Chain A
Amino acid sequence: MAKTILEMRGITKTFPGVKALQDVNLSVQEGEIHAIVGENGAGKSTLMKVLSGVYPHGSYEGEIHFDGQECRFNGIHDSERVGIVIIHQELALVPLLSITENIFLGNEQAKFGVIDWHSARSRAKKLLARVGLSENPDTLITNIGVGKQQLVEIAKALSKEVRLLILDEPTASLSEKDSQALLDLLLEFKRQGMTAILISHKLNEVKKVADRVTVIRDGRTIETMDRDDVSEDRIITSMVGRTMDDRYPTRTPKIGETIFEVKDWVVHHPLHPDRQIIKGINLSVRKGEVVGIAGLMGAGRTEFAMSVFGRSYGTKVSGEVLLHGKPADTTTVEKAVAAGLAYATEDRKTYGLNLIDHIKHNVTIANLPGVSSKAGVIDDMSELKVAKDFRKRTNIRSSSVYQVTGNLSGGNQQKVVLSKWLFSNPDVLILDEPTRGIDVGAKYEIYTIINKLADEGKGILVISSEMPELLGICDRIYVLNEGRIVGELAGHEASQEKIMRAIVRGEEKAAS
């Protein structure tokens, strides 16, 4: 019987109007990977913030015992001192600093306040080697992809004598390959004797690496399962409180004429105008059709979508956009919205929400004319009604529509972004990673919404890195690689292998 390293007892944490945690118990054994799962807003991140001292002792009720000692952390410095290190749901790297600088940020290799860059760099190199990242430690964070950034975060954690590593949805924005690498790394650490807590909505990952799984629902612990009892269905049942027979709602597509078409779309890099990012894309979406875009991270999917949506990305954009068969002007976001286009971003914090304002104002901002008079006077009551309707429709969990979006759980923020674009009432909706960081139950709800929109005769374009998701909901799938379409598959004949094969073929062709 392994030794219990962490014991959290009776943790209760309230925010104004919300009881985020209620008498939660968690016990983690030394050397295990302990997964925590639960719906959006269940309180997983909050529990980890309590554990790591982000919410200091006294701001919550209950006890934390680590390594046999009762802990009363007043900040993350205290928890790091005993070896508890957290990697938050949102990456906390400084984009314009180098990898080395980021790794030692707040923990500089200094004597009397003077940083010893030589030893810092060589230590950084060693840490990067441990996480399997072969990158020059002087590289700026902005210049590496999210997958590598996540590894830098882990290297940063390793730089502090870590005994318990907490990862809050580390793979949410990673490609399958990068996720795989990260999970392997986690298993490697486990072999070296490290304990880890992993929060994830990707249940297949949980199943793969977790020794035990604790389920949290509505701020309470439901149960802790042992490895042998864990199955995805069992977890889901426990998470949502009932069985879920299907992950994807069924639908009989009623597909009409072409509603959206992009022709010969070419986009150049905004900073290096001679570099082509999108190299001549042609695609179309029909009424009532759900079309997917598959591809690896960096294939240019987001860049494509944003450049179409009001030239929000890139320079020297050329090509044609047709809506309802007629050329449409989408050169500014406003014109694109007016033409009937909407784009829900993959990066809700940076591009999606005004985090200091509440749900109501965020939901209506893309369609203010929809709640105001011609003269530009907003009708408070109809705005409130709209916000309440969408809160209900997309099942946003919050104290009210006046909750500040910055305080919502990640998944619920995503639903606010979605609501905002649903309210703009577009004909064609481009959804970029619409279920990133969203729990299984809410995913089902979002798929249902997508289906309903399609049934209303709208065209839906879904960008997703989760292939099962594309296979589960799309009528047709384009495969994008390095700015080119390298394959097009009908939904019923598509498979993960076929998509991968298309990508590989595209790479070979580009190489030859």
Chain B
Amino acid sequence: MTTETVTPAEAAPARQSMRDALKENLREYGLVLALIVIMVFFQVMTNGILFLPVNLTNVVLQNSYIIVMALGMLLVIVAGHIDLSVGSVAGFVGAVAAVLMVDYGWNPLLAAAACIAVGAVIGGAQGYFIAYMKIPSFIVTLAGMLVFKGLLLALLGGRSVGPFPTEFQLLSAGFIPDLIGRWTIVAPTLNASGNPIPNTGIALHSTTMVIGVLVVALMFYLATRTRRAQERHGHETEPFGLFLVKNAIMAVIIMFLMYKFASYRGLPNVLIVMGLLTALFVFITKRMTFGRRIFAMGGNIKAAALSGIKTERLTFYVFVIMGMLAALAGLIYAARLNQATPKAGAGMELDVIAAVFVGGASAMGGVGEVAGAVIGAFIMGVMNNGMGIMGINIDWQQVIKGLVLLGAVAFDLYNKKKA
């Protein structure tokens, strides 16, 4: 009766055209590209300091807590909400950790677990008002921001509490142990007395390199498996050449970064935490029903509810997760400073929210990607770092960051309109 409008892609289900595939991938990898461009830019502007192993390690350490929170914020924003309280909550939880460990002498592990639980309770409390009492998240978390900022001050009473036990400091200052021993690639230059001069020669943290190779192997394995499955089911796949080039480029980037880390002190512990959490959240959003439902809810909450999704409970859980991640971020931040201060966490929420939007999430809800948020956080982080090295004033740094946020979102919208 009705003639099917058959598109070329369907007539020959096996392969996408090179043009379509490239177009698709350009959008997908646009952010990665932007990050690389920005990094190269600052590499030049800082006379090669940016890519120094020690500085790259620093970039990771400086941004780890932002990234951890960006993961949760992505869910919150996709669900159609916002959380303004995360900075205050992180600061408050850091203070709780300090009081427990320093003042009361709790075991660090136990204290950390208690802190995460506190975060869950805080998130749950805010989530309750948002999900069940239907108070807009903007208002609830604005209130939360004030409340926890106040509680932080009250708890610390104006003092800074520290230092933390060494085991706890390892969370932010530690590196993974080198199980195999260092690989000396280029022997260090010796000075007149026959002792090696520091910072010469290349000795690699071998475990880091091994992990790098494993990650690349895993990436290739997963990509190939998906492709096989697509072929087996007769769905269209991208051209093989592109597939190969794409993954090869990713592999080179990963190995390059690993090499950088390995030539300093290896992978920071916190990077491992971040990496695992990011992988987990990618999986949740892409593959799990829980994640899919959040997207459906953010896209049209009424339709989601009529499809049998428990929108209230889902919203509640999203805020519980956000609370736990804010708590973890608070711990990382406190461990990094090695003390809890009354100013901890102030303004962090802005960086976190900015990262998610730079990463392509929609303020209307229903759209966003975990990888995007993480890269968005790195874009902001590299800019912070680069501008810091260049000696640009804090005030101008703010101006530039603000404009980049605006520009990134405007560019994204322009692209979508054109497509």
Instruction: Identify the A interface with B (CB < 8 A).
Output: 16-18, 39, 41, 218, 240-242, 244, 309-310, 312, 332-334, 336-337, 343, 345, 350-357, 361, 365-366, 368-369, 372, 376-378, 380-381, 384-385, 395, 397, 399-400, 420, 441-442, 444-445
Given A351-B303, A354-B303, A368-B293: A17 touches B7 (CB 8 Å cut-off): yes
Residues 265-299 of chain B, each 1 if its beta carbon lies under 8 Å from chain A, else 0: 00000000000000000000001111011011001
Interface size for chain B: under 10, 10 to 19, 20 to 34, or 35 or more residues?
35 or more
User: Which residue of the partner chain, among A333, A385, A397, contacts B306 with CB atoms under 8 Å?
Assistant: A333
B179 contacts chain A at the CB level, 8 A cutoff: no
Chain B residue numbers with a CB within 8 Å of A354 are 295-296, 299-300, 303-304, 366
Question: How many whole Å from A183's CB to the nearest CB in chain B?
Answer: 28
Question: How many whole Å from A131's CB to the nearest CB in chain B?
Answer: 30
Task: Give the residue name and chain of the B residue nearest to A379 (CB).
Answer: B287
User: Do A377 and B2 touch across chains, with their CB atoms under 8 A apart?
Assistant: no
In the docked arrangement, what's the CA distance between A350 and B302, Å?
Answer: 7
B309 contacts chain A at the CB level, 8 A cutoff: yes
Stretch at the interface among B68-76, B120-128, B165-173, B229-237: B229-237
Chain B residue numbers with a CB within 8 Å of A377 are 287-289
User: Do B308 and A337 touch across chains, with their CB atoms under 8 A apart?
Assistant: yes
19 additional contacts, CB 8 Å, given A351-B303, A368-B292, A441-B1? A310-B308, A332-B310, A333-B308, A345-B306, A350-B302, A351-B302, A353-B300, A354-B304, A356-B364, A365-B292, A368-B289, A368-B293, A376-B290, A377-B287, A384-B235, A400-B7, A400-B10, A442-B2, A445-B2
User: Do B5 and A218 touch across chains, with their CB atoms under 8 A apart?
Assistant: yes
In the docked arrangement, what's the CA distance between A333 and B4, Å?
Answer: 35
User: Do A333 and B307 touch across chains, with their CB atoms under 8 A apart?
Assistant: yes
Residue in B9, B229, B287, B419 with the greatest tally of chain A CB atoms within 10 Å: B287
Chain B residue numbers with a CB within 8 Å of A378 are 287-289, 292
Chain A residue numbers with a CB within 8 Å of B289 are 368-369, 372, 376-378
- How many A-B pairs have beta carbons closer than 8 Å: the answer is 116
User: Do B2 and A397 touch across chains, with their CB atoms under 8 A apart?
Assistant: yes
B86 contacts chain A at the CB level, 8 A cutoff: no
Chain B residue numbers with a CB within 8 Å of A366 are 307-308
User: Do A381 and B229 touch across chains, with their CB atoms under 8 A apart?
Assistant: yes
Question: How many whole Å from B275's CB to the nearest CB in chain A?
Answer: 20
In the docked arrangement, what's the CA distance between A241 and B309, Å?
Answer: 42
User: Do B288 and A312 touch across chains, with their CB atoms under 8 A apart?
Assistant: no
Chain A residue numbers with a CB within 8 Å of B9 are 17, 399-400
User: Do B3 and A357 touch across chains, with their CB atoms under 8 A apart?
Assistant: no
B367 contacts chain A at the CB level, 8 A cutoff: yes
In the docked arrangement, what's the CA distance between A378 and B226, Å?
Answer: 14
Question: How many whole Å from A42's CB to the nearest CB in chain B?
Answer: 10
Question: How many whole Å from B304's CB to the nearest CB in chain A?
Answer: 7
Residues 304-344 of chain B, each 1 if its beta carbon lies under 8 Å from chain A, else 0: 11111110000000000000000000000000000000000
User: Do B3 and A218 touch across chains, with their CB atoms under 8 A apart?
Assistant: yes
Instruction: Identify the B interface with A (CB < 8 A).
Output: 1-5, 7, 9-10, 226, 229-230, 232-233, 235, 287-290, 292-293, 295-296, 299-300, 302-310, 362, 364, 366-367, 419
In the docked arrangement, what's the CA distance between A385 and B229, Å?
Answer: 12
User: Do A444 and B296 touch across chains, with their CB atoms under 8 A apart?
Assistant: no
In the docked arrangement, what's the CA distance between A16 and B17, Å?
Answer: 14
Chain B residue numbers with a CB within 8 Å of A18 are 5
Chain A residue numbers with a CB within 8 Å of B2 are 39, 240, 395, 397, 441-442, 445
In the docked arrangement, what's the CA distance between A353 and B226, Å?
Answer: 28
Chain B residue numbers with a CB within 8 Å of A345 are 306
Chain A residue numbers with a CB within 8 Å of B292 are 361, 365, 368, 378
Question: How many whole Å from B145's CB to the nearest CB in chain A?
Answer: 29
Chain B residue numbers with a CB within 8 Å of A376 are 288-290
User: Do B299 and A381 touch across chains, with their CB atoms under 8 A apart?
Assistant: no
Chain A residue numbers with a CB within 8 Å of B1 are 240, 242, 244, 441, 444-445
User: Do A365 and B5 touch across chains, with their CB atoms under 8 A apart?
Assistant: no
Given A368-B289, A378-B289: A357 touches B308 (CB 8 Å cut-off): no
User: Do A357 and B233 touch across chains, with their CB atoms under 8 A apart?
Assistant: no
Question: How many whole Å from B251's CB to the nearest CB in chain A?
Answer: 23
User: Do B303 and A352 touch across chains, with their CB atoms under 8 A apart?
Assistant: yes
Task: Give the residue name and chain of the B residue nearest to A343 (CB).
Answer: B306
Chain A residue numbers with a CB within 8 Å of B419 are 16
User: Do A365 and B309 touch across chains, with their CB atoms under 8 A apart?
Assistant: yes
In the docked arrangement, what's the CA distance between A98 and B1, Å?
Answer: 45
In the docked arrangement, what's the CA distance between A354 and B305, Å?
Answer: 11
Chain B residue numbers with a CB within 8 Å of A381 are 229-230, 232-233, 235
8 A-B Cβ contacts within 8 A? A18-B5, A354-B303, A355-B300, A365-B293, A368-B289, A372-B289, A378-B292, A395-B2
Task: Give the residue name and chain of the B residue nearest to A444 (CB).
Answer: B1
Question: How many whole Å from A437's CB to the nearest CB in chain B?
Answer: 16
Task: Give the residue name and chain of the B residue nearest to A353 (CB).
Answer: B303
